Amino acid sequence: MLVLRRLRLPALALTRCNATLQATESASVTPPPPVAPTKETIKPRAATPESKSSSSTASLTRVRRKPAAARLTVPSTQKAGRTPKWRPALPTGVLPAYDEAIKLIRQDSFRLKREAAEVRRSIKPGDEDEEEKRKLLRIIQVQSEINLPEVRWAVKSRLVDMRNPAHRHLREQNWRGEGKLDLLMERIHQMNVIPDVLPSLHPSVDVSIKVRQTHLAGPTYRSRGIEPGVFLSPKQTIAPPTVYATAFHLDTRLYTMMLVDSDVPDPENETFTTFLHWLCPNVPLSAINSGAIKNLNTHTQYVPPHPQQGTPYHRYSLLLLPQPARPDAPYSLVTEARSITSRSRAGRVTSRYLPIPVVPQSARTGFNVREFCKKWSLDGRQGGGAHMWREVWDESSDVVYKNVLHADAPKYGHPPRPDRYGHLRGEKKYVAA
């Protein structure tokens, strides 16, 4: 007969991060087994009004005391209402080499900040070399803080202060160097958004979008970010997507946002044309005024994507193009410095306001992006941002035709194959001589 015995483990202190759980009893002390109850100790349990369940038979109740629970020590950085701060990886004195490295970095930062102060004092408004001196000042400001561990930690933890030149530089470096911009350029060139929609595009604004989930319905739903070029269901884009934009200039510049479908069939010309789904000019953006763009549905209102049945996948391109600068204030570091009136407010608008009229419903089909950009001096080579996704037909596309466009959903297919022997069908195969 096998006897199963419980293994006795020594009491250990379980440690995870900042929480420590210690054993309350020693392993050498084994609790005695419970004593078998006698007939005198067994008594029927009286039913009380507080108890939810009652039993007609007598039951033995045994009170088991729980050991005192160890208190979890929560760091001060995780408490509600406090901003987390950087802490050294090692306390002072544990590793002298680490302490000397931190000391050397701070000494170099202090030296560069003094040099930046000297360059700032040498800048005179209106000088011919003012732009060059401001470029030098920006480089020294970035170098003075880019190696500080607290700056690196803040950017990595998404606690970015866009007023700080080093924070802005690291944030832009992450966007350009960690693959997000490369993925965008790869997708828009592989799927021929460039040059089908625009001849060229040099992005300078980080654009991302969020759409609703498909398995959740109703007014309360969660959204998720998407990568450029992914397939979405028309159900996910019934509501306008949330557009996020991060600019890296301090002055406030105006942009024009548009969403186009470049794969709408044109049966009359046996080709494809463009449909304008969304348009909003004069969108203000700056490094301080970044994040989710609001009030995008105040100009040419959003029409949900509706790929037609029988067509291949449709490419939906969201473009954020910079508007031209004002004649008296070209885009430069000098203009950026003069536009900032206060450290707590974004700089004044340095772009030209464009009185673009609302595009009527009849002019959405066949919308020419190139002619529109040429008319209003919108140039993708001067910067801006972009995003794209793809969709195919499903039943929700017909709902858009019915409720939004108030038209019948078209159906497309391959043309019928010509029958070369159709005129011979129905005739007799053999003729009597």
What mean pLDDT comes out for the span 182-210?
94
Based on the fold, state whether residues 254 and 397 are members of the same structural domain: yes
Structural tokens at position 236? 């996910």
Based on the fold, state whether residues 286 and 389 are members of the same structural domain: yes
What mean pLDDT comes out for the span 218-224?
56
Is residue 14 assigned to a domain?
no
C-beta atoms surrounding 223 within 10 Å: 15
For residue 387, report the phi and psi dihedrals to the nearest 5 degrees. Answer: -160, 160
Quote the pLDDT of residue 418: 84
User: For 39-65, what is each residue's pLDDT tens digit?
Assistant: 444 454 544 444 444 444 444 445 455
Identify residue 111 by its one-letter amino acid code: R
Based on the fold, state whether residues 101 and 230 are members of the same structural domain: no
Is residue 15 assigned to a domain?
no
Identify residue 160 by its one-letter amino acid code: V
Is residue 377 assigned to a domain?
yes
Query: Quick one: which of 9, 29, 13 has its CA closest to 21?
Result: 13
Based on the fold, state whether residues 155 and 231 are members of the same structural domain: no
What mean pLDDT comes out for the span 87-102?
89
What mean pLDDT comes out for the span 321-331?
87
Most confident of 25-29, 72-76, 338-342: 338-342
Query: Quick one: which of 296, 298, 287 has its CA closest to 319?
Result: 296
Is residue 425 assigned to a domain?
no
Based on the fold, state whether residues 166 and 234 are members of the same structural domain: no
Quote the pLDDT of residue 61: 45
Based on the fold, state whether residues 145 and 199 are members of the same structural domain: no
Is residue 275 assigned to a domain?
yes
Based on the fold, state whether residues 105 and 237 are members of the same structural domain: no
**315 neighbors 193 (Cβ within 8 angstroms):** yes
Q: What is the CATH number of the domain that holds 212?
A: 3.90.280.10
Strands 385-391 and 314-322: antiparallel
- Beta-carbon contacts of 348 under 8 Å, excluding residues fewer than 6 positions away, are 251, 252, 339, 341
The last residue of one of the domains, among 154, 177, 200, is 177
Based on the fold, state whether residues 146 and 222 are members of the same structural domain: no
Structural domains counted in the chain:
2
Based on the fold, state whether residues 243 and 388 are members of the same structural domain: yes
Strands 206-212 and 242-246: antiparallel
The residue that leads in pLDDT, 166 or 8, is 166
Based on the fold, state whether residues 143 and 208 are members of the same structural domain: no
Domain that holds residue 219: 192-405
User: For 106-158, what is each residue's pLDDT tens digit?
Assistant: 999 999 999 999 999 998 888 888 889 999 999 999 999 999 999 999 999 88
* Band of residue 341 on the pLDDT scale cut at 50, 70, 90: low
The residue that leads in pLDDT, 290 or 193, is 193
Structural tokens at position 245? 């934009």
The last residue of one of the domains, among 177, 210, 239, is 177
**Could you give the C-alpha distances from 187 to 84, 230, 274, 390, in angstroms and in order?**
37, 9, 19, 11
* 181 pLDDT above the threshold of 90: yes
Is residue 262 assigned to a domain?
yes
What mean pLDDT comes out for the span 216-240?
78
Burial class (CB in 10 A: 0-12, 13-18, 19+), 73: exposed
Any idea of the CA torsion for 372, 377, 383, 388, to the nearest 10 degrees?
0
Based on the fold, state whether residues 372 and 228 are members of the same structural domain: yes
Based on the fold, state whether residues 146 and 253 are members of the same structural domain: no
* Band of residue 30 on the pLDDT scale cut at 50, 70, 90: low
Is residue 287 assigned to a domain?
yes
74's torsion region: left (phi>0), alpha (psi -120 to 50) or beta?
A: beta
Quote the pLDDT of residue 38: 52
**212 neighbors 284 (Cβ within 8 angstroms):** no
Identify residue 89 by its one-letter amino acid code: A
Quote the pLDDT of residue 34: 58
Is residue 30 assigned to a domain?
no
* Band of residue 167 on the pLDDT scale cut at 50, 70, 90: very high
